A and B are shown apart, each in its own frame.
Chain A
Amino acid sequence: MRYLPLTEADRHQMLASIGVSSVDELFRDVPQAARRSGPVEGLPNFAGELEVERQLSAMAAKNVAVGSVPSFVGCGAYKHHVPATVDYMVQRGEFLTAYTPYQPEISQGTLQVLFEFQTQVALLTGMDVANASMYDGATSCAEAVMMANRLTRRKKAILSGGLHPHYRDTTTTDARFIGFEAVAMPAAPRGGEDLVSLIDADTSCVVVQNPDVFGHVRDYTDLAQMCQTKGALLIVVVTEAVSLGLLTPPGEMGADIVAAEGQSLGNALNFGGPYVGLFAVKEKYVRQMPGRLCGQTVDADGRRGFVLTLSTREQHIRREKATSNICTNAGLCALAFSIHLSLLGEEGFTKLARINHVKAVQLADRLSGVKGVEVVNETFFNEFTVTLPRAAAGVVEELAKRRILAGVPASRLFPNGKNGGQLEDHLILAATETTTESDMDALVKALSEVL
């Protein structure tokens, strides 16, 4: 494909036809204070490749890479071992586009991968049907709430205090600008929330997480029934997809919509993104589901083929009445997810989940032996919360200086005075199959010294 740049005359013509005099005028909504008038101070306009590489390498070396030190960081982004095969496979030329194609049926291979991805997600979550993926778990969550609003013709969502705050914030941001209500409950580090009594005639859905952000494993079967009785939908969020290898899937508990993060499979931490949102629903809701959906069919000769289906829900056809403004999917990340899961197989995936849990149990046992450390959780999968005798943020900083990433202080996710507070001494730690005995030794030793 040739790529022809615009001429000055082309630009003038385009500006004239929309009635503005300059390109700058298109940015007049950006506040003056937020605009930059010249080059960034200290950053040269150009430099040789070798020089750039040197400088950027030096800057990158200031980071403590998770893989280079003992790390117990989780909270929605998990370090797992991604086999080299995954990276090799996703880089094959046939797969090299991040998008679902615009003339989709010509790319049968891409559609087949998406169909298999959807099948895997539906099986993992225990739901009838899944879409071809969303941007990430947090946007899946917000989209799930908006879908529940459409289905119930109600406008209020109740967000559990066990929901990851990033998911909560994404949802409440949409609520603010799209115009629905999102009632966020205070942080619930020990559970015990009464969500049912909050459901009223205007409530479209209740959003809970499993395991929740503090690591507790929950059974939402009763809550699903209560929601149904009151005409609200139950949305279950999962931030650690590997947990689905061991725990009862949300679909079996009666979830109406599952919104999950798929990063754990096939995808590196990537500084927080790009990730891959999983989205699965009961079949009766499929027409209100956002995103792309791939279907299996037969051609005129009866041979199996794949198509993008139910596209009439989508923005390029339905315009402002579309189910979502998301008209794409996280194709490459979804591909990596599917390849990793296919390589593991059902048995391998279950085994991986079991190893994660075993490592977390070992970690909890080791930590409960450290003076002043109390494990909060009675149940957990590969992540749990402890309390420390002093502020967790300070302890994490001290351990980082010793090149140990000790986890996520709860105060970082729940700042004081905002949805909870009083969590300064809470620390959330994760263990995965990558966690070694010596990682745990190092953490326990360092913690015993600083506490």
Chain B
Amino acid sequence: MTATVKYTKDHEWIRVEGDVAVVGISDYAQSQLGDVVFVELPEIGRTVEQGKEAAVVESVKAASEVFSPASGEVIEVNPELEADPAKVNSGAETDGWFFKIRLSNPGELDSLMDSAAYKEFVEGLH
């Protein structure tokens, strides 16, 4: 199965696997935040909307909202982040995923950037 990864301008990523998608923050985002000390994850069963707050990531510098890249129902959260939030730093786009949703409107994904476009977007920020 080939997975598609897309990015938002708020530096979240979403990896679509069928009608389920995994969400996290980009490697660029974690490098900007510094050491992550706490992640507040949504409740399982909660409905999230594209562009609306779904989680909070807290580093030694700041606490920031994480916006959901797409709408849907939260079906799983990363259980390891509670005990080891540093996983967001070591593997922002792998082990450090935040939550999984069942997509309610896959068409929304068309508005997001692919990996090449996001890379260009980040370079434009400097």
CB contacts under 8 Å to B, within A382-406, are: none
Does A91 have its Cβ within 8 Å of any Cβ on chain B? no
Taken residue by residue from 282 to 313, chain A's Cβ proximity to chain B (1 for < 8 Å, 0 otherwise) reads as: 00000100000000000000000000000011
Specify which chain B residues have a CB less than 8 angstroms from the CB of A317 in the assembled complex.
62-63
- Is A287 within 8 A of B40, CB to CB? yes
CA A317 – CA B64 in complex, angstroms? 10
Please pick, from A153, A287, A312, A321, the residue contacting B65 in the complex, using a CB distance under 8 A.
A321
CB contacts under 8 Å to A, within B55-85, are: 58-59, 61-63, 65
CA A312 – CA B65 in complex, angstroms? 12
Specify which chain B residues have a CB less than 8 angstroms from the CB of A318 in the assembled complex.
63
What's the count of A-B pairs with C-beta under 8 Å? 15
CA A321 – CA B40 in complex, angstroms? 13
**A312 nearest in chain B by CB position:** B63
CA A393 – CA B11 in complex, angstroms? 65
CB contacts under 8 Å to A, within B9-65, are: 38, 40, 43, 58-59, 61-63, 65
B64 to chain A, nearest CB (A): 9
Most buried by A among B38, B59, B63: B63
CA A321 – CA B58 in complex, angstroms? 13
Specify which chain A residues have a CB less than 8 angstroms from the CB of B38 in the assembled complex.
287
Specify which chain A residues have a CB less than 8 angstroms from the CB of B62 in the assembled complex.
312, 317
Specify which chain B residues have a CB less than 8 angstroms from the CB of A287 in the assembled complex.
38, 40, 58
CA A427 – CA B40 in complex, angstroms? 49
A299 to chain B, nearest CB (A): 16
Most buried by B among A287, A312, A313, A321: A312
CA A317 – CA B63 in complex, angstroms? 8
B55 to chain A, nearest CB (A): 13
B71 to chain A, nearest CB (A): 20
**B61 nearest in chain A by CB position:** A312
CA A153 – CA B65 in complex, angstroms? 17
CA A321 – CA B62 in complex, angstroms? 12
CA A287 – CA B43 in complex, angstroms? 17
CA A321 – CA B65 in complex, angstroms? 10
A396 to chain B, nearest CB (A): 51
**B43 nearest in chain A by CB position:** A153
CB contacts under 8 Å to B, within A310-345, are: 312-313, 317-318, 321
Most buried by A among B38, B43, B61, B65: B38
A-B CB contact pairs (8 Å), 15 listed: A153-B43, A287-B38, A287-B40, A287-B58, A312-B58, A312-B59, A312-B61, A312-B62, A312-B63, A313-B63, A317-B62, A317-B63, A318-B63, A321-B63, A321-B65
With A312-B62, A317-B63 known, 4 other A-B pairs at CB within 8 A are A287-B58, A312-B59, A312-B63, A321-B65
The 9 closest A-B pairs by CB, nearest first: A312-B63, A312-B58, A318-B63, A317-B62, A312-B62, A287-B38, A317-B63, A313-B63, A321-B63
